[in-house]
Amino acid sequence: MNPVKAPLDTVDRIMLAHGGGGELTGQLIQQHLLSQLNNERLAPLTDGAVLPWRAGELVFTTDSYVVTPLEFPGGDIGRIAVAGTVNDLSVMGATPVALSLGLIIEEGLPVDVLDRIVASIAATAREANVEIVTGDTKVIERRSGDGLFVNTAGVGCLPPTVHVGLEHVEPCDVVLVNGCIADHGLTIMSVRHGIEFDSDLRSDAAPLNGLIEQLLTGGVRVKFIRDATRGGLAGVLADISEHRQLSIEIIEAQIPVSPTARHAAEMLGLDPLTVANEGKIVCVVAQDHATSALEAMRRHPLGRKAAVIGRVTDTQPPLVELNTRAGGRRIVQRPYGEELPRIC
Amino acid sequence: MNPVKAPLDTVDRIMLAHGGGGELTGQLIQQHLLSQLNNERLAPLTDGAVLPWRAGELVFTTDSYVVTPLEFPGGDIGRIAVAGTVNDLSVMGATPVALSLGLIIEEGLPVDVLDRIVASIAATAREANVEIVTGDTKVIERRSGDGLFVNTAGVGCLPPTVHVGLEHVEPCDVVLVNGCIADHGLTIMSVRHGIEFDSDLRSDAAPLNGLIEQLLTGGVRVKFIRDATRGGLAGVLADISEHRQLSIEIIEAQIPVSPTARHAAEMLGLDPLTVANEGKIVCVVAQDHATSALEAMRRHPLGRKAAVIGRVTDTQPPLVELNTRAGGRRIVQRPYGEELPRIC
């Protein structure tokens, strides 16, 4: 790229012209993206990044993010985009290696918002120890004037010793989560409704590769892991039950939900079990590994409040059943449609 | 996933609820995506796809597509998304292996439009001999009611024998293109303006991995390849000139432009050199390889009209200069901003 001719700093909002693939696109990329994300693979701005690779299995994943608002307590669209793709690789048992970043920016987006989000992308990538190695930027016409859609894809290395997957789940296995559920979705919905709860209600968005690596290398026989994002805890448990044609029994009193989240869920009329998380995994282990799994999780800062929440059974028909605090039982269903639009 | 309960076929437009991560999202994915894209890696719908990989170098790339209209003569957003990412891998010298697919669908998109575009994605992937191995679907609120944004990322294998890159370009090298330029951008602009030209004005969108493989394995010492998308031929030539601090002299009479495209460009007031292509590469080879490169290109159906269009010189200052048909000379500049918004 040429030395910059007309600094983007002289404009305070993104213009359609920034997406045209010309001089202005180059300035946007140099001044607002590379300045924060710079690394030796991204810097050449070629059509793709070249990565050395060992023989073995590669895991490849992608997610688009359309969350609104773009920034919220505990995170922003950039943090969940990086964390989400890192987590998708990690729950497959892979070590995240590199991410791509596709930005679709709405004309009118304030440049300082973009800068904060790119800074958050860079910071979250450092936290997860991955690099953004390739990317793309497009600009679309003004709509609300504050829109940004983010796509991240990721590649990771699957160690030959790791074997996690739904097919390993059996009756008597134990189900764990790494901490309090529902914080992300409830934070977003609270901000949208302009409801102020205690200041401790924050999105849990976080890259969990460190926690998962600790679990997988700590001698625990982990059978299955999945991050409980859209569809919440209920969605993941429904997946396990349906795929394996087994039942799952969970104990309400053992499911970590913060008092603030519980209060927010009541106010908003939402079931914490179906609310999205961005930093929570559901983990299935053999019964005799439950204690060591719990201890491995709790040793990590993102697993301090980990808990055993239930177990897999062969009760038929296959259902997810909740033993309530009140001593009752209710069937937990996968949410049907869009209970919480644009939550991630 | 469970057997389908309420067929999506009973609705004819996408609803926000299709993006919620619940039952309806599952139906959308099963009935409208997997039905056409099905392959053994995508089918398990896990968080990512597992691919066997040989040791060596991996190329990783991404692009988002925001083209409007979604369908146009010669292609649609799905075709350019697959072709674009295949081409980005190929111009790096890599053999495309697998793609990811991220869809952001606007509420209100007719289901039959989605079906046609997914069919086009599947067909273009087959044409390029790659698989869509992982994906993600989100739904955003209604805007114009016919919106769809597509992100594709791709991974490819770099053969150890291939060494293409800007750093190899030297004075006296020869510049080629594989056929008529400007068709894609002019088609889109004509449709948008409701201008009817001859029916032979069609987007050139096509996966070029076959052509490029033929070139790279045909004994030609290829120094640099890039697809001339946003920014057109002028953008690629500016990149070469700026990065290498060399000049490029091109001959207008040798640059293939169809009579229809020339007419359309005149009517629309556009310079074919800066108009986007979706199936054209710029290729730089050593002078004594020019003929064999041209022959290798012309042997492929997507290179029948390939031409040598100019050469690299050490004239200073570094500029891209056009020798016009009229016998004059003019400097070719990288387009500054958004001449053609949402062209890809």
Query: pLDDT digits over A248-284, tens only?
Result: 999 999 999 999 999 999 999 999 999 999 999 999 9
What are the φ/ψ torsions at residue A334 (nearest 5 degrees)? Answer: -60, 135
* Distance of alpha carbon B184 from alpha carbon B229, whole angstroms: 9
Nearest CB to B134; choose among A49, A62, A138: A62
Contact between chains at B338 and A20 (C-beta distance less than 8 A): yes
| Residue B206 backbone class (left: φ over 0; alpha: ψ -120 to 50; beta: rest) | beta
- Record: contact B231-A63, CB cut-off 8 A: no
Q: Judge: A60–B51 Cβ closer than 8 Å, yes or no.
A: yes
3-state helix, strand, coil in chain B (%, to 5): 35, 25, 40
Residue B145 pLDDT: 63
Among A332, A181, A187, A180, which Cα is nearest to A268's?
A: A187
Question: How far is the C-alpha of B177 from the C-alpha of B305, rounded, in Å?
Answer: 9
Bridge pairing between strands B71-72 and A320-323: unpaired
- pLDDT for A337: 66
Nearest residue of B to residue A167, measured between CA atoms: B44
Asked if the model's pLDDT at residue A232 lies above 90, the reply is yes
8 Å CB contact of A59 and B65: no
Question: Of A133, A143, A335, which is closest to B60 when you measure between CB atoms?
Answer: A133
Going by C-alpha positions, the residue among A151, A27, A32, A121 that lies closest to residue B65 is A151
Strand order in the sheet with B174-177: B222-227, B281-285, B174-177, B307-313, B247-251, B320-323, B329-331
Contact A51 B58 (CB under 8 A): yes
pLDDT in tens, A81-117: 999 999 999 999 999 999 999 999 999 999 999 999 9
Query: Which residues make Cβ contacts (< 8 Å) with residue B130, sequence separation at least 6?
Result: B82, B86, B96, B97, B98, B99, B154, B209
Residues B172, B312 contacting (CB under 8 angstroms): yes
Taking the C-alpha atoms of residue A73 and residue A30, their distance in angstroms, rounded to an integer, is 29
* Cα first-last separation, chain A: 34
pLDDT of residue B26: 86
Residue A10 is predicted with a pLDDT of 64
Residues in chain A closer than 8 A to B64 (CB atoms):
102-104, 136, 138, 149, 151
Average pLDDT over residues B54-62: 91
Going by pLDDT thresholds of 50, 70 and 90, the confidence category of residue B8 is: low
User: What is the interface size between A and B, counted as CB pairs within 8 Å?
Assistant: 270
Q: Taking CB atoms and an 8 Å limit, are B50 and A276 in contact across chains?
A: no
- Cβ count near A145 (within 10 Å): 12
- In A, which residues are within 8 Å of B62 by CB distance? 100-102, 134-136, 151, 153
Domain ranges of chain A: 8-158, 166-331
- What is the predicted pLDDT for the residue at B173? 98
Q: Which residue does chain B place closest to A225, by CA atoms?
A: B47
CB B74 within 8 A of CB B338: no
In the predicted structure, residue B224 carries a pLDDT above the cut 50: yes
pLDDT of residue A4: 40
Instruction: Choose the closest CB to A66 out of B2, B18, B138.
Output: B138
| Residues of B with Cβ-Cβ distance to A23 under 8 angstroms | 334-337
How many Å apart are CA A300 and CA A297, to the nearest integer?
Answer: 6
Q: Which residue has the tokens 């894609």?
A: B184
Whether the per-residue pLDDT at B62 is higher than 70: the answer is yes
Nearest 5 degrees, angle CA B24-CA B33-CA B12? Answer: 55
Strand ranges inside chain B, DSSP E: 49-53, 56-65, 71-72, 75-76, 95-106, 131-140, 148-158, 174-177, 222-227, 247-251, 281-285, 307-313, 320-323, 329-331
Cβ distance B292 to B201 under 8 Å?
Answer: no
Question: Which residue did the predictor score with more confidence, A181 or B26?
Answer: A181
Candidate CATH numbers 3.40.190.10, 3.90.650.10, 3.40.1080.10, 3.40.640.10; the one for domain A166-331: 3.90.650.10
Q: What type of residue sits at position B48?
A: G
Classify residue B55 as exposed, middle or buried by CB count within 10 Å of its CB (0-12, 13-18, 19+): exposed
- Decide the pairing of beta strands B307-313 and B247-251: antiparallel
Beta carbons within 8 Å of A314's beta carbon, 6+ residues apart: A171, A246, A247
Helices (H), chain A: 23-28, 35-37, 77-91, 111-128, 183-193, 209-216, 232-244, 259-268, 290-298
Range from A22-31, B7-16, B56-65 carrying the lowest mean pLDDT: B7-16
A31 pLDDT more than 80: yes
More confident residue, A95 or B339: A95
Q: What is the CATH number of domain A8-158?
A: 3.30.1330.10
Place of tokens 């062969």: A314
* CA–CA separation, A187 and B254 (whole Å): 61
pLDDT at residue B17 above 90?
no
| CA atoms of B227 and B66, how far apart (whole Å) | 18
Q: Which of residues A285 and A25 earns the better pLDDT score?
A: A285
CB atoms within 10 A of CB B1: 15
Higher pLDDT, B63 or B56: B63
Contact A286, A221 (CB under 8 A): yes
